[in-house]
Structures are given as C-alpha cells and as structure tokens.
Structure 1
C-alpha cells in the first residue's frame, strides 16, 4: 500500500509498504484513512527530526523509524477485533491518536495523556493516517455523527489541543481574551474561545496572510501586528478600566509570545501555554508575582473530549473546517504540503493529505 514515511530530517518519502495483517487482535480496529492533516509536530520532525519519532523501539509500542506519518485524520472502519463493539465495518471515525497504558498511575486515573509511556499514532506507532490502511487500538477509533463532514472529523484532533487551552483558561460567557499566534492552533483557539462565549478576542500575529485568514474566520476578532504595536497596549485600550484581558493564550511556543501574554493579561488573570517551547524561555517572575496571575501549561488533551467536540461541530458551534486552506494528494506531500507550510510568505494554515 502507499504510505508517507518519515526517515530523517528533510527525508519524507511516499513509499509502497506492506499492508496491515487482517488478523486483528481482539481490541484492534482496521481502518482506511481519508483526509489527514499535517501537524506542527510533523513539521518539526521534517525540519530537525527525529524528535518524537523513535530511533530505537518505543518503550510502550515498540515502533521505530521509518514512521508512517499522520495523527489528525478521519477514516472508515474496515474490520474490528472480537472485543470491539462501539464501531463496526462501514462506520466513520475520527482518530484519537494517543496510545498509553490503561493500568499505570495515570491510566488508572483516566489521565492517559500524562503517561510517560505515551505513544501517538503517526509518530510512535506502527501505523499512521497518511497511508491507505492503518490499525488502531479500539479506544482510538472515535465514531462521529453523520452531521460531521470528513474534513471536520479530521480536524477534531487539533481542535482538542485548542479546546484544552480554552478549558484551562476557564474562558466563558463574556471573557476577554488575547491569543498570541494565528497558526492552525491559534486559529482553532479563536474558534473554541468564541464557542465558549468570549466577548472580546484579540489576536497578535506578525504574518499578514495569517492576519487576513483569521479575520475571514472570525470578522469580529481584533487583529494586531506585533511589529507595529504592542498587543498589551491594545488589550488595555479595549478593556474596562484598561486592566487587560482576562485570559491570554500563548499559541506560538516562543519566549516573546509568552511575555506578550503576561503583559496583556489583567491582574489576577490567566496565561495558558498552548504552544510547545523548544528551548527555555526567560521570564519576568516579579511581574508574574505583581500581577498575581495563574499560568497554566498544557500537554495534548484529555482523550475523553472527542464526543464533546464532535457534538459541538455537528451543532454548528465549532466551524473547524474554516482553518483548512489546502488539500493535496499524498504524492505531493513534500512540495505542496511540508514546504508550502514552511514558506514564511505562504498562505496556508492547515493542509489535508489524501492517500
């Protein structure tokens, strides 16, 4: 079968690989992936990997590179193991890609995403969504309602990252919010914050194409070019008594972005780290103390969020498809996918790959 595989930095290949064995374990599901998103993690692997893809056998799954990529995808069930009853052949599913022990400290508490043995479909599992077939643990196959399109189902995984940040910031009706970064996760965070009831959303983003796209997604958003003006000043100008926003979400993973959020948030407010930082950040700890802020750090998402997100999408409350800016065939995945997303002047946020 055809598959997109990561071998090393700048070495992603479209190859013919053996199809999965149809003799499934009792708790496994065989699926045929459809649309699959290219994630920021995939981009990091392409630029500087291996980072999270395993050079030696993964401690829990035994997977090693070369790795079939893809962890944001929709699929159709083709076969199920004897113990799987929640889906059947022909059902559409959204892949919940986190794989971890059910019986370690965190597994016994339902906090599967916190296990130090956690693996991920498309990154540290034998299979991924950028292939013609894949095998998943049964709990990774999350059914989606008919009202959720294939494109929307493929977007549930990155939306889960964004919604977790919104939840940790306790954003609700009337909240004032700053989002630093209008990449795919920042854009989805705008959509999730609006769905949660935010009344004021300010987005700080230096890329003019991304500023344009974010205003198309949500015309009510206040967009700031941080090169021309300080997001904190805008936040104070637009909030009562010039106090700053209730919640600031950092969706870039850079020191300057984190400190922008701290500057923009009001005293007693919350800063949520959603973007992953690849190196240590210098902070003004005294300012954190003077403002009496709470800083929330997030890792992935609770795996139980899939039905909630699918329900919000089906009800028209979470238009995640607005973040999609391109669709390509797997044969074009490097030139029209990875390279296009890495182009500083590019116009893409989220590109879906079809195998």
Structure 2
C-alpha cells in the first residue's frame, strides 16, 4: 500500500509498504478515508524527529521511519477475536493514544492520556493515518454517528484537544474567553468555548489572513493582531467592568502569547496552556500571584471524550468542518499540504488528505 513516511527533517517520502497484517485478538484493521495534517506533523517535518522515536519506543517498539497521521478516520475492514463494538463496514474515528491498559499508575485511574509510556498512532506506532490502511487496538477505534461525515471523523481528534482545553479552563455559560492563536486548534477552542456557553470571544494572532479566516468561521468574535494592538488592553476595554476575560487559552506554544493571556485574564481567572512550548517561558510571576490566577496545563484529552466530541460536531455545536480549507491526495501531501501550511503567509487552516484519491 501507499504511505507517507517520515525519515528525517524535510524528508517525507511516499513509499510502497507492506499491507498491515490481518488483525489479531483485540485488533481492528481500518481502511483510512481522511487524515488531517496536524501542527505536530508539521514540527516533525520541519525540525524532527521530536515525537518520532529515534530508538524503539519503550511500550510499542516503534521507531523511524514512521507513517505519520494521528487525526484520521475510515471504515473497518476486519476485526480480530474478541472485538464486538465494531464490525466490518462500520465508519469509525481513530482515538490515537496507545498506552498500557493496566499496571500503570494513571491507567489504573482511567487517566490513560497521562501514562508515562504513552504512544500515538502516526508518531510512535507501526501504523498511521497517512496510509491506505492502519492496524489498531480495539480501544483506538471509535464508532461514529450516522450524522457525522467521513471528513468530520478526522476532525474529532483536534476538536477533542479544544474541548479538553475548555474543560480545563472551566469555561461555562456567560464567560468571556480569549484564545491566543488563530490556527486550527485555536479556532476549534473558540468553537468549543462557545458550545460550552461562552458569550464573548476574543482571538489573537500575528497573521491577518488567519484572523480574517477566524472571523469568517466564528462570526461574532473580536480579532486582535498583537502587532497593532495590545491584547490585554483590548480585552479589558471590552469586558464587563474593564477587568479582563474569565479564561485565556494559549494555543500557540509562544511565550508572548502566554504572557498576553496572563495580562488579559481578570483576577481569579484561569489561563490554560495548550500549545507546546519549545523552551522556558519567563512570566511576570508577581502578576500571577497578585491577580490570584490559575495557570493550568492541558495535555491531549481523556480517551473517553470521543463520543461526546462526536456528538458536539454532529449536532453543529462545534462546526469543525469549517476549519478545512483544502483537500489533497496522498501524493500531493508534501508540496500541497505540509509546505503550504509551513508558509508564514499561508492562507490555509486545516488541510485534509483524502486517501481515496
């Protein structure tokens, strides 16, 4: 079968690889339909290996070259012994986190996403979404409702990141929320905040094109470019009492965006760090203490989120498909997908690979 494999930074190759074997006990073979190109995939392409193991992964044994893609869905082709929740022909979305199911401190408490042995399909597993098929554990394969399209099945994973960020921030009805970063996760976080009841949305980004796209997708949202406006000043001037927003969600992994969140949030507000920072990010810790605020990390998502997020998308409460700006074939994925998304002046948000093309 055809697959897109990561070999090294700036070295992605479309290759003929062996078809996955027939599923064993507790396994499911999926014919992939659509796969999203994630920011994590872009970082691997530009600077990797980062999450792709150089040595065999301690739990899965996987290492490079690696089939990429962890935002994907498809159709069940066959199932192994003991699998009863899906059957051949079922349309599914892939929850890509792979980890010990027991005997691990966090797994034993249902916090699978926090396992120290965590692996991901498409980064540290033998299969990934940027191929014609993938062999997965039964718990990775989630049935989707009829109302959900095949494209939307590939958007549950990034939407789950956004929903969890809002949950970590405690976003609730009537809140004002600032999202820093108008990329796919940032816009999905704004959608998730609105679905949770937020009544006032702000979103900041240095890219005016992305801010324009955010306005088109989200409708009533205050866009802010930090190059021309001070984020905190804008948020304070437009929130009740001039105190700032209730919750700030950082979706960039940039120290200036984090500082803007700390500045913009009101006293006793919450800052949620979702973007992955490459290094240390100094803050004004006096402000953290003086404002009595919480700063919380948000890593991935609990694995049981899939049905909830699927319902939010299928119902239209999170219109995730609006972030998709382009479809490409697997053979076009590098030049028309990865390279375009890495263009600082790029015009795209989310690019999906159509594995049927």
Shorter-chain TM band: over 0.9
Native 8 Å contact 1:174 1:200 kept in 2: yes
**Partner Cα distance (1:203, 1:68) in 2:** 33
SS of corresponding position for 2:234: helix
**Structure 1 residue 303 displacement after superposition:** 0.6
- What TM-score do you get using the length of structure 2 for normalisation? 0.98
Give the number of aligned pairs.
Answer: 354
**Partner Cα distance (2:2, 2:240) in 1:** 56
Match of 1:142 in 2: 142
**Partner Cα distance (2:144, 2:269) in 1:** 36
Establish whether residue 241 from structure 1 lines up as the match of residue 241 from structure 2: yes
* Stretch moving more, 286-295 or 310-319: 310-319
**Partner Cα distance (1:298, 1:314) in 2:** 24
**Partner Cα distance (2:83, 2:323) in 1:** 33
Match of 2:310 in 1: 310
**Structure 1 residue 11 displacement after superposition:** 0.2
Mapping of 1:193-208 within 5 angstroms? 193-208=193-208
Mapping of 1:197-236 within 5 angstroms? 197-236=197-236
**Structure 1 residue 164 displacement after superposition:** 0.6
Match of 2:275 in 1: 275
**Structure 1 residue 32 displacement after superposition:** 0.4
**Partner Cα distance (1:286, 1:106) in 2:** 33
SS of corresponding position for 1:260: helix
SS of corresponding position for 1:122: coil
SS of corresponding position for 2:252: coil
Native 8 Å contact 1:130 1:354 kept in 2: no
SS of corresponding position for 1:30: strand
Match of 1:57 in 2: 56
**Partner Cα distance (1:90, 1:237) in 2:** 54
**Partner Cα distance (1:318, 1:242) in 2:** 29
- What TM-score do you get using the length of structure 1 for normalisation? 0.99
Native 8 Å contact 1:6 1:65 kept in 2: yes
Per-residue displacement from partner, 1:175-230 (whole Å, max 9, x unpaired)? 00111110110011111011111100011111011011000111100101111011
Mapping of 1:57-206 within 5 angstroms? 57-103=56-102, 104-206=104-206
**Partner Cα distance (1:77, 1:10) in 2:** 32
**Partner Cα distance (1:339, 1:161) in 2:** 24
Stretches of structure 2 that go unaligned for 5 or more consecutive residues are none
Stretches of structure 1 that go unaligned for 5 or more consecutive residues are none
Task: Give 4+ residue runs of structure 1 displaced > 3 Å after superposition.
Answer: none
Establish whether residue 289 from structure 1 lines up as the match of residue 289 from structure 2: yes
Per-residue displacement from partner, 1:96-153 (whole Å, max 9, x unpaired)? 0000001111111110010110000000000001111110000000000010011111
**Partner Cα distance (2:101, 2:94) in 1:** 18
The CA RMSD measured in Å over matched residues stands at 0.7
**Partner Cα distance (1:212, 1:135) in 2:** 39
SS of corresponding position for 1:353: strand
**Partner Cα distance (2:8, 2:134) in 1:** 22
**Partner Cα distance (2:275, 2:54) in 1:** 25
Match of 1:48 in 2: 47
**Partner Cα distance (1:219, 1:125) in 2:** 39
**Partner Cα distance (2:257, 2:175) in 1:** 20
**Structure 1 residue 339 displacement after superposition:** 0.4
**Partner Cα distance (1:328, 1:284) in 2:** 44
